[in-house]
Structure 1
Amino acid sequence: MKPAIDRRLAVVTGGCGGMGIACAREFGGSHDLLLTDISAERVARTQEQLRDEGYIVRDCVAGDLADADVIDKLMQAIDSHGRLGVLIHTAGVSSGMAEWHRILRTNVIGTRLLLGAIESRLSKGSVGVLIASVAGHLAPADREVDALLTSNTPPEELLGKMEQHLNRLAAAQGQNGSFVYSGLSGPAYGVSKRATIREAALRSAAWAKKGARIVSISPGIIWTPMGRYEVEHGQAASIVLEQTSLHRWGTAMDIARAAAFLASDDASFITGTDLRIDGGMVPARLGEGY
């Protein structure tokens, strides 16, 4: 009798988004899927769609990952359906989609709660792939902000302290003319994605002790509903598209295939780092001094 194939779980957050669905399809051939997204209706519909395509979707969890109760439900689902193989964390909101406090709540607090909870489920071979953004590379390296966003400061206190920092960063960026922002959403998005990149770096040693790896990916302009919305509604995103050296949009599969490589044994010596997939936008943006 042939031994049973060991199919671990691939947990995909933001599982209804363009990158989330692409990653679910990419990993669904070798992993059983567990999806989470904020909308119960959408995540149930996506689960049904993927099952109709032949993928094994063990469960779906709906809700805001910045809510501890939702995190608990997700961890219970993981515990019920198998060993964690891969975490693909695509959930997030962009500068054109929300006010600054929701951006920080989702992108920073939600990510922190998710990673803090999932670390007890790691085993040898587990891999985390966090979706950051090129905005995290362009955001200022501010020691006070970096320290605050990677601290254990309670959520409401963190948001209160961050508002003054965002006002300061917005004023400085407005003076040098490097970005086009509306209110505090732009700087909030940039520092939130810088925080995502730093989460992968700072947690990598603890993950390594369990035989696990964690990395981040920083996409540029990607042809997803979120990416198109940003270009249509935000000047900053339009500038990014114009400055992409390869002169095309990236696709969700560009990200999914890179995630698959980073989660594979071929990438077994890669951890705590960020892979920028931006069509050459960041070096073009920053010029020869990069």
Structure 2
Amino acid sequence: MTGQRLAGKVALITGATGGLGTATAELFAREGARLVLTDITEGPLHDLAQRIGAGGSEVVAARLDVSSAREWGEVVTLVRDRFATLDVLVNLAGIVDWPGIEDTREADWDRVVDVNQKGTWLGMRAAMPLLRASGNASVVNTSSVLGLVGSGAAAAYQASKGAVRLLSKTAAVEYARQGVRVNSVHPGVIATPMIQELLDEQGDQQPDIQRTPMRRAGRADEIAPAILFLACDDSSFVTGSELVVDGGLTAH
């Protein structure tokens, strides 16, 4: 059952072929969105767009390296030429690196920050003129519980996700009177391809799962509805917020 909460809206989703991206794209399609799906991997991206489009949704696929200002410009031009508007931007593209402070290599630090932090900023910067013109737009940026609390590892990832949290807040303040809401979503341990190898090795004994009161990893289809809430008009008075979906991990 769907409520068509995104009926007629144009939504751009980055990182669309990842676990969260795919679940979000599928849910948005069921809710009536016209979709622009982007990712750096073209084959799986076009397969996803074809599959969703076969269900009757209007879908455009475009390769996008979110760390490239030029490619962001090309994608936004595509959106303008095809739809003339943009109502929702979901910044889901992200990568992880596990080492702590001393073991993180500079090149790896730069790569994580370029995708997770810079990519989010570049996306908002490129898309904001279309979002403002919509008059009723929403940006959902993907942070993490590791953008809220420390873990003693994943130094570059945590730094980038903490930055996304505050970048979202300052953008929310900047655009609050210009018809654009900006919020961040903070997943906990979610069984997606990004961490599946780790989960396969450690199972339910994975330390963060042991710290999660619900004692399990979440699913991608448990995060997508949170993103939908922030994207649609149900959250019309919500901006600058942090929506945590973590099974209680940060509750203690």
Task: Give the TM-score category using the shorter length.
Answer: 0.7 to 0.9
Tell me which residue corresponds to 1:30: 32
CA distance 1:51–1:271, change in 2 (3 Å): same
Q: Deviations over 1:106-130 (max 9, x none)?
A: 0111111111111111122110111
CA distance 1:6–1:55, change in 2 (3 Å): closer
State the one-letter code of the partner of 2:163.
Answer: A
* Counterpart contact for 1:9–1:81, Cα < 8 Å: no
Count of aligned residue pairs for this structure pair = 235
Check if 1:113 corresponds to 2:122: yes
Q: Following TM superposition, by how much is the alpha carbon of 1:266 offset from its aligned partner in structure 2, in angstroms?
A: 2.3
Q: Distance in 1 between matches of 2:195 and 2:57?
A: 26
Find the residue that maps to 1:84 and give its secondary structure: coil
Find the residue that maps to 1:15 and give its secondary structure: coil
Q: Deviations over 1:69-127 (max 9, x none)?
A: 21111111110222212111110001249932211110111111111111111122110
Find the residue that maps to 2:195 and give its secondary structure: helix
Aligned positions of 1:74-223 closer than 5 A: 74-82=75-83, 83-96=85-98, 99-122=108-131, 123-139=134-150, 179=152, 181=153, 186-223=154-191
State the one-letter code of the partner of 1:89.
Answer: N
Q: Distance in 2 between matches of 1:227 and 1:30?
A: 30
* Counterpart contact for 2:66–2:123, Cα < 8 Å: yes
Q: Following TM superposition, by how much is the alpha carbon of 1:227 offset from its aligned partner in structure 2, in angstroms?
A: 3.0
CA distance 1:34–1:131, change in 2 (3 Å): same
Tell me which residue corresponds to 1:170: none
Tell me which residue corresponds to 1:274: 242
* Counterpart contact for 2:190–2:217, Cα < 8 Å: yes
Q: Following TM superposition, by how much is the alpha carbon of 1:238 offset from its aligned partner in structure 2, in angstroms?
A: 2.6
Tell me which residue corresponds to 1:21: 22
Q: Distance in 2 between matches of 1:190 and 1:281?
A: 16
Of 242, 267, 277, which residue of structure 1 is paired with 2:210?
242
Instruction: Give the share of equivalent positions with the same residue, in percent.
Output: 31
State the one-letter code of the partner of 1:40.
Answer: E
Q: Specify every segment of 5 or more residues in structure 2 that has no aligned partner in the other structure, as ranges.
A: 1-5, 100-106
* Counterpart contact for 1:40–1:62, Cα < 8 Å: yes
Q: Distance in 2 between matches of 1:223 and 1:14?
A: 16
Find the residue that maps to 2:87 and give its secondary structure: strand
Q: Distance in 2 between matches of 1:233 and 1:93?
A: 19
* Counterpart contact for 2:98–2:157, Cα < 8 Å: no
Find the residue that maps to 1:200 and give its secondary structure: helix
After TM superposition, the score normalised by the length of structure 1 is: 0.75
Tell me which residue corresponds to 1:69: 70
Q: Deviations over 1:132-156 (max 9, x none)?
A: 11111114xxxxxxxxxxxxxxxxx
Find the residue that maps to 1:99 and give its secondary structure: helix
CA distance 1:80–1:280, change in 2 (3 Å): same
Q: Following TM superposition, by how much is the alpha carbon of 1:241 offset from its aligned partner in structure 2, in angstroms?
A: 1.4
CA distance 1:137–1:67, change in 2 (3 Å): same
Q: Specify every segment of 5 or more residues in structure 1 that has no aligned partner in the other structure, as ranges.
A: 140-177, 285-290
* Counterpart contact for 1:132–1:196, Cα < 8 Å: yes
After TM superposition, the score normalised by the length of structure 2 is: 0.86
State the one-letter code of the partner of 1:135.
Answer: L
* Counterpart contact for 1:38–1:62, Cα < 8 Å: yes
- For the aligned residues, what is the CA RMSD? 2.2
* Counterpart contact for 1:61–1:73, Cα < 8 Å: no
Rg bigger for which structure? 1
